[in-house]
Amino acid sequence: MQRRKFLGISGVAFGATLAAGSAHAGDAGSGHLDASDPIDPADWSALRDLFPLTRDYIQLATFLLASHPRPVTAAIEHHRREFDNNPADYWHAHYQTIDAEIADAAARYMGGTGSQIALTDSTTMGLAMVYSGLKLAPGQEIVQTTHDHYSTDMSLAHRAARTGANVRQISLYDAPSQADLDTILTRLRQGISAKTSVVAVTWVHSSTGVKLPIRAMADVIQKLNAKRAAQDQILFCVDGVHGFGIEDQDISELGCDFFIAGTHKWIFGPRGTGLVWGNDKAWARSEAVIPSFSRSYDVWLGNSTLDQVAIGEHMSPGGFHSFEHRWALPAAFNLHLQLGKAHVQRRIHQLNSQTKEGLANMPHVKLYTPMSSELSSGLVCFDVEGLAPEAVVKQMHRKGIIMSSTPYRQSYARFAPSLLNNETEIDQALAQIASLA
């Protein structure tokens, strides 16, 4: 009751307080805080200048965790300053509307509608939220692949243990460099049984760099669903983090039912941000795992009904987050839209093709990522003869190049050419790999 009274009192009082306070309070969800940093489409040099990222190294692992570009930093600092000046008023002025505004900004970038988007803190949180909330019964089956990340494996295992559902893994390819469309689709089709209720996959495999043909896989699932009753339809769930921010794709047309991604990697969003997009069918078969705030809180107070709250808002985990980071997310989407999604996709594929072609010509290197851009994206995985992946990473670091190795049972060395690189840097990194012969 004390909390309810406080909310009521604050609702009456904060308008006058804000009117006398910050002139920027209304900008919280606008996403236009980057107006001082306009950038031309495909201006990669100007983009690099927006980042404080050190130039002491060639950065080929920026996909792990983004350095904040200047528009994102400005938005974060704006919100941080307003919270520090007057946290209670600033939060109460925006908490009921800001999530919807952020989701709308995301939808302008990714497609679909903002009402279908839930906000999270990471890909892992999104995966756990989706898989923990799926309505499953004993004996129903979840099909996942052997290529997925630990976060998917464990989220599904936990859900299966709680519901009595079964998890079965299938392999969509054997040699990743030889992965092909027909084999992937055939193995998917053969891996689905009459008991399959959910198919969980990863768009771009951080283990090998293989990019799955999600649209074609969705078509296979849709044909199987056409023979099933509505309540028995297969849900198609995709961890999309390593294609999101690269591929020029309207997610609502990709063919999946759930799309889960962090936004602090290729999107250049604030650290500790992510999202889940779901279509109406998917959300209807999912339950909230963590109580939401924003307008869902009003439902609990009795001031509105659940049908008045967008499903994405209802599913967004509540509690107090790093609000200055989450609320700055529109600036990252706006930056990508200024660059142009088609330009971004073309540039990243160009640099990755240059990398793969260079590595493929080295006798002491074994390339695991497919050469085709149809089946690869922004990650290039390889081995150097006679060196463990961790040793390659260390030697390259001493040569001024930051890269990574894949954190899987089968580990490979990994480059991730991004928008923050150029052709000269790729040539220099390839020359250093050549010197390891």
For 150, other C-beta atoms within 10 Å of its C-beta total 10
What's the pLDDT band for 5 if we cut at 50, 70, 90? very low
Task: Give the Cα separation of 338 and 332 in Å (integer).
Answer: 10
pLDDT band, residue 30 (cuts 50/70/90): very low
Rg (CA), the chain: 23
The encoded tokens of residue 161 equal 């243990």
Q: What percent of the chain has pLDDT over 70?
A: 91
Q: Would you say residue 48 has pLDDT above 90?
A: yes
Tally Cβ neighbours within 10 Å of residue 55.
9
Averaged pLDDT, 91-106: 94
Distance CA(332)–CA(269), nearest Å, equals 5
CA distances from 207 to 55, 125, 283, 370 (A): 27, 20, 29, 13
> Which of 43, 39, 69, 237 is closest to 155 using CA atoms?
237
The better pLDDT of the pair 303, 249 is held by: 249
The proportion of the chain whose per-residue pLDDT surpasses 90, expressed as a percent, equals 82
Residue at token pair 């494996």: 153
Quick one: average pLDDT of 210-234? 96
SS3 assignment, position 211: strand
pLDDT band at 27 (very low <50, low <70, confident <90, very high): very low
| pLDDT tens track for 161-202 | 999 999 999 999 999 999 999 999 999 999 999 999 999 999
Looking at residue 36, what is its pLDDT? 53
Instruction: Give SS3 for 158.
Output: helix
The closest alpha carbon to 354, from 418, 435, 436, 267, belongs to 418
For 387-416, what is the mean pLDDT?
97
- What 3-state class would DSSP assign to 261? strand
pLDDT at 138: 93
Residue 21's nearest CA partner among 94, 71, 76, 70 is: 94
Given a cut of 80, is residue 301 above it in pLDDT? no
Cα end-to-end span (Å), the chain = 71
Sign of the CA dihedral with 386 first, then 387, 389, and 393 last: negative
Mean pLDDT, the chain, whole residue set: 91
User: Which token pair is 182?
Assistant: 């027909």
201-211 confidence digits (pLDDT tens):
999 999 999 99
Query: Does position 15 have pLDDT exceeding 60, yes or no?
Result: no
Q: Hey, what CATH topology would domain 341-434 get?
A: Aspartate Aminotransferase, domain 1 (3.90.1150)
Q: What is the pLDDT of residue 12?
A: 37
Whether pLDDT at 278 is above 80: yes
The least confident of 96-105, 295-304, 363-372 is 295-304
Q: Which of 16-30, 105-119, 146-160, 192-206 has the lowest mean pLDDT?
A: 16-30
Model pLDDT, residue 308: 82
pLDDT in tens, 150-159: 899 899 999 8
- For residue 25, is pLDDT > 60? no
CATH of domain 99-337: 3.40.640.10
The answer on pLDDT for 57 being more than 80 is yes
**What's the pLDDT score for residue 29?**
44
Measured distance CA(25)–CA(18) in Å, rounded: 7
Mean pLDDT computed over 314-337: 95
Domain parsing of the chain, residue ranges = 99-337, 341-434
* pLDDT over threshold 80, residue 18: no
Which has more pLDDT, 36 or 344? 344
